[in-house]
Amino acid sequence: MNAGSGLFHVIDTRQFERPMLDRLCRLATRVRTLAKSRQGARQLRRLAPDRRAMLYFTQPSTRTFLSFNSACHILGMQTSEIRNPSISSEVKGETFEDSIRTFSSYADAIIMRTPEGGKAARAAELMDSIPRPVPVINAGSGPDQHPTQALLDIYTLERSFEKRGGIDGKTIAMMGDLRRGRTVRSLSYLMKNYRDVRLWFVAPPGLEIKQDVLDHLDSHGVACESTSRLDDVAGELDALYVTRLQSEYGEEEPGAVEYASYAIGLEQMDKFPPGAIIMHPLPRGPELSPAIDNDPRVMYWRQERNGMWIRVALLALIFNLANELEAGIS
Ligand code: ASP
Ligand code: CP
């Protein structure tokens, strides 16, 4: 563990408590504001020019990769990457552990995404057993966790409800392939940090949220219910978080026609209260019609950009740069 912020590895959202979430959101806003001016951008770049990050992404990614890459560069950091293991020494039989340890020889942080669950946790465990450990940040580990997506989702929710008391007291529905969607798992785990939140899980039969998430919410007193029909809850929502069918994980799943009833288009938008927001981690599938893209309630483009700001904030906390950044935050 790191003596400054207390944040070192970022593996699973269960590690986050409210004070750190609030601090990250404040920091992200500070970074976003600074980055608007040349002088502020220069100030940010001077924070970590001596740090290097390894981006190890062996599962496809567009925005998590690009936003982490940009976040590092905003702080003046240098980055290296492996996105295709077939051109790394893994093809010569190098083990996962040896590869990770090798990255730590050249980098001050390892940011990693893998198609398999549990790999980031394994990398963090390895780091904790070697003389020069570096922080491991999970950028998506199979169907189990995507903690930095959940952080950007929290930041987006807090920003959207800034004038309505933040996330506390809100009713949020998560819809789609909840069984295999790691973003919903990670975000659900964070809800215990907010007061009087009500969660609705809206999923087709067979793709419901897993019991471990429900047990976690129950043990922390978070009110949640499940349904297979969006119409049951649409009128009472403050936010709807839509997700795509995670077909890359195989297994049986509902046919296209059945999943179509978990899609959002112009017709559905009339069913939500006027202040309700629509989120999606992206990339989208047919469940999110481009026809709604310019509706002011749509937040997914803002989520993308918030991902960059919150990742800068996260790196700043991990590298103990936050105090410097916070100087001047009232
Ligand atoms: N991009 C998100 C993830 O990697 C969501 C998705 O792919 O559907 O989990
Ligand atoms: N939201 C998200 O993780 O996007 P990518 O899969 O494109 O990184």
Using one digit for the tens of pLDDT, what is the confidence trace for 214-226?
999 999 999 999 9
| Whether residue 92 lies in the annotated active site | yes
Within-domain flag for 292: yes
Within-domain flag for 8: no
* Annotated catalytic residue within 13, 29, 58, 64: 64
Residues 98 and 242 in one domain: no
Ligand 2: does its nearest atom lie under 6 Å from the Cβ of 102?
no
Residues 160 and 255 in one domain: yes
Mean pLDDT of the chain: 95
The CA distance from 209 to 188, in Å, is 10
User: Nearest residue CA, atom 5 of ligand 2?
Assistant: 61
Q: What is the pLDDT of residue 328?
A: 62
* Phi, psi at 79, each rounded to 5°: -130, 145
Residues 173 and 292 in one domain: yes
Residues 104 and 152 in one domain: no
Q: What is the distance, to the nearest Å, from the Cα of residue 292 to the centroid of all Cα atoms in its chain?
A: 23
Residues 311 and 282 in one domain: no
The ligand 1 atom at the shortest distance from the C-alpha of residue 182 is: 9
| Whether residue 220 lies in the annotated active site | no
Ligand 2: does its nearest atom lie under 6 Å from the Cβ of 149?
yes
Protein residues with CB under 6 Å of any ligand 1 atom: 140, 146, 182-183, 243-244, 281, 283
Provide the residue type at 270 as one letter. Answer: D
Within-domain flag for 3: no
**Which domain range does residue 184 map to?**
147-304
- The CATH number linked to 168 is 3.40.50.1370
* Annotated catalytic residue within 9, 30, 146, 185: 146
Residues 174 and 56 in one domain: no
Residues 180 and 124 in one domain: no
| Contact criterion met (CB below 8 Å) for 201 and 177 | no
pLDDT (tens digit per residue) in 279-305 = 999 999 999 999 999 999 999 999 999
Residues 157 and 196 in one domain: yes
Confidence of residue 244 (pLDDT cuts 50, 70, 90): very high
Q: What is the pLDDT of residue 133?
A: 98
Within-domain flag for 261: yes
Residues 41 and 114 in one domain: yes
Residues 287 and 239 in one domain: yes
Which class for 205: exposed (0-12), middle (13-18), buried (19 or more C-beta within 10 A)? exposed
The CA distance from 292 to 280, in Å, is 12
Within-domain flag for 252: yes
Within-domain flag for 5: no
| Contact criterion met (CB below 8 Å) for 166 and 29 | no
Q: Token pair of 85, please?
A: 């293991």
Mean pLDDT of 322-326: 91
Within-domain flag for 4: no
Residues 90 and 136 in one domain: yes
Residues 167 and 135 in one domain: no
| Number of domains within the chain | 2
pLDDT (tens digit per residue) in 139-152 = 999 999 999 999 99
**Residue to probe by mutation, ligand 2, list 55, 57, 61, 186, most atoms within 8 Å of CB:** 61
User: Nearest residue CA, atom 4 of ligand 1?
Assistant: 140
Considering every ligand atom shown, identify the ligand nearest to the alpha carbon of residue 300 and give its number: 2
pLDDT (tens digit per residue) in 63-84 = 999 999 999 999 999 999 999 9
In which residue are the tokens 């008391």 written?
Answer: 165
Q: What is the pLDDT of residue 260?
A: 86
Q: What is the pLDDT of residue 329?
A: 54
Within-domain flag for 2: no
β-bridge partners, 171? 198
* Contacts of residue 64, Cβ cutoff 8 Å, sequence gap at least 6: 57, 113, 139, 140, 146, 148, 149, 307
Confidence of residue 327 (pLDDT cuts 50, 70, 90): confident
Percent helix / strand / coil, the chain, rounded to 5 = 45, 15, 40
**Integer angstrom CA distances of residue 314 from 79, 240, 293:** 16, 25, 29
Residue 323 Cα to ligand 2 middle (Å): 29
